[in-house]
Amino acid sequence: MSADASDPVLRRIEGRAAYLTLNRPRALNALTHPMVRAIDAALIAWERDEGVATVVVSGAGERGLCAGGDIRAIHADAVAGGRASLDFWRDEYRLNARIAAFRKPYVAFMDGIVMGGGVGVSAHGSVRIVTERSSVAMPETGIGFVPDVGGTHLLARAPGELGTHLALTGLPVGAADALLCGLADHFVPAAELPRLAAALADASPAEALRGRTATAPEGELAGHRAWIDVCYRGDSVERIVARLLDHGDPAAKEAARTILTRSPTSLKVTLAALRRARALGALEPVLEQEYRVSAAALRSPDLVEGVRAQVIDKDRRPRWSPAELSGVTDAAVERYFAPLPDGRAGLFTDRTD
């Protein structure tokens, strides 16, 4: 049981279920480093506790599960040339791997906004529930960053080129499209979540879900597969954009216009990361890759500029460097995948738990 209702991570056990609530509703439950450590410690304890059969994860407030990492803190660290973000990501990505390998049912309520790090603490779980209010996104290219928290692993596994579309545009999807892309498993109306949470105290997820699932409201992506799967093939962002602009479907042209507002460097690194994630296959090697990419992004001008434009000043007018896709060389992209310069060990080489 959490000692204080104001704790940023609330923990309690009822019946056979352990409940974990992200509790920073004013910040849309954005993750801090202490929160990541608290979640990880709870999962270690609950996995060993024979009295716990199921873990249930949700977010406090009505707006969403989690908007991602504390991007203001990352921005401040990047401006200062610090290392706090590297330590945060190291523990966060380890947590993502723990969730994926968790030996008990891990039920994530992906209600409301679920972005970035919020995807990391939910979409790697074994039972992922979306509602009519769900808005799921990996929006990193819009702030000069690259999908992380295992996001390139998840999106690389989406049907066809749906994952490439979501990664490059950074656009959010609703319940039906999250299900289609393999980011969620079940649709449950939001009003039913409190009763489902209570039922999980004494029933398995399969039993608790019986009679509570429904058909999600119609999505958009299924109807766009014809142009998405054709236009997003290949390893060149320039060719992808050209195909989108040349396609007759207005939605394809709109996708191209969206992509062209994103960081050119982030776009090229993101596409390379997705293609390499497909080849790597398993989650842990992909997280290792993402850690190298994130470390490089922390020192890039586009992350500082993107967060300034979108979050700090909110002028929505980022000045990317380089400003055009043509200015991003293959060598510049490759630097994001190079070994860490400080010789740090891999994410999982020194774990003892």
pLDDT reading at 3 higher than 80 = no
* CA 117 vs CA 18, 24, 232, 242, 315: distances in Å: 21, 14, 25, 31, 24
Q: How far apart are CA 125 and CA 127, in angstroms?
A: 6
* CA 35 vs CA 20, 29, 42, 78, 200: distances in Å: 11, 10, 11, 20, 24
Q: What confidence score (pLDDT) does residue 307 get?
A: 97
CB atoms within 10 A of CB 91: 16
Percent of the chain with pLDDT over 90: 94
pLDDT reading at 324 higher than 70 = yes
pLDDT reading at 186 higher than 80 = yes
Question: 165 and 204 in contact (C-beta within 8 Å)?
Answer: no
Q: What confidence score (pLDDT) does residue 53 get?
A: 98
| 296: Cβ contacts below 8 Å, ≥ 6 apart | 335, 336, 338
Q: What confidence score (pLDDT) does residue 349 get?
A: 72
- The CA angle 342-345-348, to the nearest 5 degrees, is 150
**Bond from prior residue into 322 cis (ω within 30 degrees of 0):** yes
Q: What confidence score (pLDDT) does residue 126 get?
A: 98
Q: What confidence score (pLDDT) does residue 29 get?
A: 98
Q: What confidence score (pLDDT) does residue 343 get?
A: 59
Q: Residue 263 burial by CB count (10 A; 0-12/13-18/19+): exposed, middle or buried?
A: buried
Q: How confident is the model at residue 341 (pLDDT cuts 50, 70, 90)?
A: confident
pLDDT reading at 54 higher than 60 = yes
* CA 249 vs CA 11, 21, 174, 228: distances in Å: 48, 42, 21, 10
Q: What confidence score (pLDDT) does residue 163 get?
A: 98
Mean pLDDT of the residues in the chain = 95
- Looking at the DSSP assignment, which residues form a beta bridge with residue 136? 114, 173
pLDDT reading at 1 higher than 70 = no
pLDDT reading at 2 higher than 70 = no
**pLDDT average, residue stretch 295-299:** 95
Handedness of CA 158, 191, 104, 135 (dihedral sign): positive
**What is the model's pTM?**
0.95
Q: Cite the active site residues.
A: 69, 117, 140, 148
Q: How confident is the model at residue 4 (pLDDT cuts 50, 70, 90)?
A: confident
Poorest-pLDDT segment among 90-104, 121-135, 189-203, 336-350: 336-350
**pLDDT average, residue stretch 74-81:** 94
